Amino acid sequence: MNLHFLKAKKIVCLLTCVAVILSFTACAGDSKGFAPKEKSTWAQLYQHFDKEGFKNLPQEVQDVLKADLLSDDTAKTTSPLTSDTSVAPVYPEGKEDEVKQFIENAIYSSDSGFVYLENESPDNVKDSKMMQFFIIAGPSAEENSIAYLADFVIFSDSPSANVLIALQDKQSGEYVAFHSSSEAVHTNDSNAKMTLEMTECSLEKAFPDLQKGKEYKVQAIAVACVPEGYASIDTMYALCDITL
């Protein structure tokens, strides 16, 4: 599937659901932040905020998070959402001003990769399945709050998909909140022209009770358990720097 089409489709969806995002009762997370060290991992961050949630992850995902450093936060694309002019905004009725303000200040970040057959080299694959991950984040209509929408899609019937979102105070370096989702939706749709297999995990929430004038980093990763016989080339990364 064309990635530009996927992004455009998701932005259209965002214009409808962002009104819902802006009205969420935001989740504050652990009252004690996480101060990372040079080699701190996503597993350590996850366990700090949600120890039981980490235990419930598939072992394969736990192992990936134990190897992924918090400092590995390179996204392939990061830009203001308004820099994409391929979609004409159609704002939800009654929420035009709120949604327009969010869109005008939101940041879009994305990453992409693929899964491939275990007996193939990642540099020379013949049968690969695309993965796409993005996050859109910005100041919420609720005072001193950051709202976001994250979406992870694997174009195969994968056993699981996981999205992790962390909020870092850029001045102190401390992670002040954390959200996660492992709720995957599986789609298998066939017609005369094509067969679409897709696994999708989305997360739409907000971080409340932040400080006006401070700069925060919304840092996100996505990890999949790939189908049997396949291997994943990498973890998906996305990040947005937001000043309230």
More confident residue, 14 or 32: 32
What residues does each domain of the chain span?
3-243
Residue 209 DSSP label: S
Question: How many angstroms separate the CA atoms of 242 and 73, rounded?
Answer: 15
pLDDT at 80: 80
Q: Poorest-confidence range of 18-22, 93-97, 112-116?
A: 18-22
Reported in sequence order, the residue ranges of 62-214 that DSSP labels E, i.e. its strands, are 77-80, 107-117, 128-139, 146-154, 160-169, 175-181, 184-190, 195-207
Confirm whether pTM is higher than 0.75: yes
Mean pLDDT of the chain: 80
Segment 21-61, tens digit of pLDDT: 555 544 544 458 999 999 999 999 999 999 999 999 999 89
DSSP string, 58-97: -HHHHHHHHH-BTT----SEEEEGGG--SS---PPTT-HH
Q: Poorest-confidence range of 9-23, 48-62, 126-140?
A: 9-23
Question: How many angstroms separate the CA atoms of 181 and 167, rounded?
Answer: 15
